[in-house]
Amino acid sequence: MGLESLRKTKASRVLGIDCSTKSLAYAIFEDGKPIRCGEVFFEGADLYERLADAHLKIPAMVEAGILKADYICFESAYLGPNPKVGLSLAYVYGAVMGGLMDARMKVVTVGPITWQSYIGNPNLKKVEKDQLKLANPGKSASWYQNAGREMRKQRTLAFSRQFFAVESGSDNVGDAIAIAWYAVKNLVR
Protein backbone atom coordinates (compact mmCIF):
# COMPACT_ATOMS: atom_id res chain seq x y z
CA MET A 1 0.00 0.00 0.00
CA GLY A 2 1.44 3.38 -0.93
CA LEU A 3 1.83 6.47 1.19
CA GLU A 4 -0.93 8.37 -0.59
CA SER A 5 -3.58 5.77 0.18
CA LEU A 6 -2.80 6.01 3.90
CA ARG A 7 -2.20 9.73 4.13
CA LYS A 8 -3.84 10.98 7.31
CA THR A 9 -5.47 7.67 8.20
CA LYS A 10 -7.25 7.48 11.53
CA ALA A 11 -5.05 5.26 13.65
CA SER A 12 -4.15 5.17 17.29
CA ARG A 13 -1.33 2.61 17.25
CA VAL A 14 1.53 2.86 14.77
CA LEU A 15 4.45 0.46 14.44
CA GLY A 16 7.70 1.61 12.84
CA ILE A 17 10.01 -1.11 11.52
CA ASP A 18 13.61 -1.21 10.39
CA CYS A 19 14.49 -4.67 9.11
CA SER A 20 17.80 -6.27 8.14
CA THR A 21 18.94 -9.80 7.39
CA LYS A 22 19.83 -10.28 11.05
CA SER A 23 17.21 -8.39 13.02
CA LEU A 24 13.97 -6.49 13.19
CA ALA A 25 13.96 -3.23 15.14
CA TYR A 26 10.59 -1.78 16.08
CA ALA A 27 9.00 1.21 17.78
CA ILE A 28 5.36 1.63 18.74
CA PHE A 29 3.53 4.90 19.23
CA GLU A 30 0.00 4.97 20.59
CA ASP A 31 -2.11 8.13 20.29
CA GLY A 32 1.07 9.93 19.26
CA LYS A 33 3.03 8.86 22.33
CA PRO A 34 5.91 6.38 22.44
CA ILE A 35 5.11 3.17 24.31
CA ARG A 36 7.64 0.51 23.33
CA CYS A 37 10.73 -0.18 21.25
CA GLY A 38 13.19 -2.99 20.84
CA GLU A 39 15.08 -5.28 18.53
CA VAL A 40 14.56 -8.95 17.76
CA PHE A 41 17.57 -10.85 16.48
CA PHE A 42 17.22 -13.71 14.03
CA GLU A 43 19.40 -16.62 15.11
CA GLY A 44 21.13 -18.99 12.75
CA ALA A 45 24.39 -19.82 11.06
CA ASP A 46 23.18 -18.73 7.64
CA LEU A 47 20.42 -16.72 5.98
CA TYR A 48 18.04 -19.66 5.72
CA GLU A 49 18.32 -20.54 9.41
CA ARG A 50 17.68 -16.87 10.26
CA LEU A 51 14.64 -16.89 7.93
CA ALA A 52 13.26 -19.92 9.78
CA ASP A 53 13.84 -18.12 13.09
CA ALA A 54 12.08 -14.97 11.81
CA HIS A 55 9.21 -17.17 10.62
CA LEU A 56 8.77 -18.35 14.23
CA LYS A 57 9.50 -15.16 16.17
CA ILE A 58 7.51 -12.55 14.27
CA PRO A 59 4.11 -14.31 14.42
CA ALA A 60 4.73 -15.12 18.10
CA MET A 61 5.34 -11.44 18.82
CA VAL A 62 2.19 -10.48 16.90
CA GLU A 63 0.20 -13.09 18.84
CA ALA A 64 1.62 -11.75 22.13
CA GLY A 65 0.43 -8.27 21.16
CA ILE A 66 3.94 -6.79 20.96
CA LEU A 67 3.95 -6.20 17.22
CA LYS A 68 0.31 -5.12 16.91
CA ALA A 69 -0.79 -1.84 15.42
CA ASP A 70 -3.42 -0.17 13.29
CA TYR A 71 -0.75 0.03 10.66
CA ILE A 72 2.93 -0.52 10.12
CA CYS A 73 5.38 1.89 8.57
CA PHE A 74 8.17 -0.24 7.12
CA GLU A 75 11.42 1.23 5.85
CA SER A 76 11.70 0.26 2.20
CA ALA A 77 14.77 -1.80 1.46
CA TYR A 78 17.85 -0.18 0.06
CA LEU A 79 19.17 -2.74 -2.40
CA GLY A 80 22.46 -1.06 -3.21
CA PRO A 81 24.88 -2.25 -5.84
CA ASN A 82 25.04 -5.88 -4.64
CA PRO A 83 22.23 -8.10 -6.04
CA LYS A 84 22.99 -10.84 -3.49
CA VAL A 85 22.33 -8.44 -0.61
CA GLY A 86 19.13 -7.26 -2.30
CA LEU A 87 17.90 -10.83 -2.70
CA SER A 88 18.73 -11.67 0.93
CA LEU A 89 16.82 -8.61 2.11
CA ALA A 90 13.86 -9.56 -0.08
CA TYR A 91 13.73 -13.00 1.54
CA VAL A 92 13.81 -11.55 5.05
CA TYR A 93 11.28 -8.81 4.26
CA GLY A 94 8.97 -11.48 2.86
CA ALA A 95 9.27 -13.64 5.97
CA VAL A 96 8.71 -10.68 8.28
CA MET A 97 5.87 -9.14 6.29
CA GLY A 98 4.19 -12.54 6.02
CA GLY A 99 4.23 -12.86 9.80
CA LEU A 100 2.85 -9.36 10.25
CA MET A 101 0.24 -9.54 7.49
CA ASP A 102 -1.47 -12.55 9.06
CA ALA A 103 -2.79 -10.08 11.66
CA ARG A 104 -4.41 -8.03 8.87
CA MET A 105 -2.51 -4.85 9.67
CA LYS A 106 -2.09 -2.26 6.96
CA VAL A 107 1.46 -1.76 5.76
CA VAL A 108 3.02 1.32 4.23
CA THR A 109 6.65 1.72 3.19
CA VAL A 110 8.77 4.83 3.37
CA GLY A 111 12.13 5.42 1.72
CA PRO A 112 15.10 5.96 4.01
CA ILE A 113 15.89 9.48 2.78
CA THR A 114 12.24 10.51 3.22
CA TRP A 115 12.07 9.84 6.96
CA GLN A 116 15.70 10.84 7.50
CA SER A 117 15.11 14.23 5.90
CA TYR A 118 11.90 14.66 7.88
CA ILE A 119 13.73 14.31 11.20
CA GLY A 120 16.42 16.76 10.06
CA ASN A 121 19.03 14.23 8.99
CA PRO A 122 19.35 14.55 5.20
CA ASN A 123 22.40 13.42 3.26
CA LEU A 124 25.54 15.29 4.26
CA LYS A 125 25.97 18.65 2.57
CA LYS A 126 29.17 19.51 0.70
CA VAL A 127 30.34 21.74 3.55
CA GLU A 128 29.95 18.86 6.04
CA LYS A 129 31.88 16.51 3.79
CA ASP A 130 34.62 19.12 3.39
CA GLN A 131 34.82 19.62 7.17
CA LEU A 132 35.13 15.85 7.63
CA LYS A 133 38.04 15.77 5.19
CA LEU A 134 39.74 18.74 6.86
CA ALA A 135 39.45 17.11 10.29
CA ASN A 136 40.71 13.74 8.96
CA PRO A 137 43.20 14.37 6.14
CA GLY A 138 44.58 11.62 3.95
CA LYS A 139 41.83 9.03 4.43
CA SER A 140 40.36 6.92 1.64
CA ALA A 141 37.08 7.75 -0.08
CA SER A 142 35.42 4.74 1.59
CA TRP A 143 36.67 5.92 5.00
CA TYR A 144 34.98 9.31 4.49
CA GLN A 145 31.82 7.63 3.28
CA ASN A 146 31.71 5.36 6.35
CA ALA A 147 32.49 8.27 8.69
CA GLY A 148 29.64 10.27 7.14
CA ARG A 149 27.28 7.31 7.51
CA GLU A 150 28.27 6.99 11.18
CA MET A 151 27.65 10.71 11.76
CA ARG A 152 24.14 10.34 10.36
CA LYS A 153 23.46 7.21 12.45
CA GLN A 154 24.43 9.14 15.57
CA ARG A 155 22.13 12.03 14.58
CA THR A 156 19.22 9.63 14.21
CA LEU A 157 19.99 8.06 17.60
CA ALA A 158 20.12 11.53 19.19
CA PHE A 159 16.72 12.31 17.66
CA SER A 160 15.27 8.98 18.81
CA ARG A 161 16.46 9.43 22.38
CA GLN A 162 13.92 12.23 22.72
CA PHE A 163 11.27 9.47 22.87
CA PHE A 164 12.96 6.38 24.29
CA ALA A 165 16.09 5.54 26.23
CA VAL A 166 17.91 3.63 23.49
CA GLU A 167 20.36 2.13 25.94
CA SER A 168 21.92 -0.38 23.59
CA GLY A 169 22.97 2.34 21.18
CA SER A 170 21.34 0.33 18.42
CA ASP A 171 21.10 2.47 15.32
CA ASN A 172 18.48 -0.02 14.08
CA VAL A 173 16.20 0.81 17.01
CA GLY A 174 16.93 4.50 16.48
CA ASP A 175 15.86 4.14 12.86
CA ALA A 176 12.63 2.32 13.83
CA ILE A 177 11.75 5.11 16.27
CA ALA A 178 12.32 7.78 13.63
CA ILE A 179 10.31 5.78 11.06
CA ALA A 180 7.39 5.48 13.51
CA TRP A 181 7.61 9.20 14.33
CA TYR A 182 7.53 10.06 10.63
CA ALA A 183 4.39 7.94 10.26
CA VAL A 184 2.72 9.45 13.33
CA LYS A 185 3.34 13.01 12.14
CA ASN A 186 2.60 12.49 8.44
CA LEU A 187 0.11 9.66 8.17
CA VAL A 188 -2.10 9.76 11.27
CA ARG A 189 -4.97 12.07 12.15
- Supply the mean pLDDT for the chain: 88
What pLDDT score was predicted for residue 9? 62
pLDDT category, 81, cuts 50, 70, 90? confident
Q: Which pLDDT tens digit goes with each residue over 119-131?
A: 999 999 999 999 9
Which neighbouring-strand residues pair with 73? Answer: 16, 108
Largest CA distance in the chain: 53
What span, in angstroms and rounded, lies between the C-alpha atoms of 12 and 164? 19
The b-or-e profile of 96-131 (16+ CB within 10 A means b, else e) is bbebbeeeebebbbbeeeebbebbebeebeeeeeee
Mean local confidence (pLDDT), 51-79: 91
Q: Which pLDDT tens digit goes with each residue over 99-114?
A: 888 777 888 889 999 9
pLDDT category, 61, cuts 50, 70, 90? very high
What pLDDT score was predicted for residue 189? 63
Please tell me what DSSP assigns to residue 43.
P
Q: Name the 3-class secondary structure at 160.
A: helix
Domains of the chain: 3-187 (3.30.420.10)
Mean local confidence (pLDDT), 44-65: 95
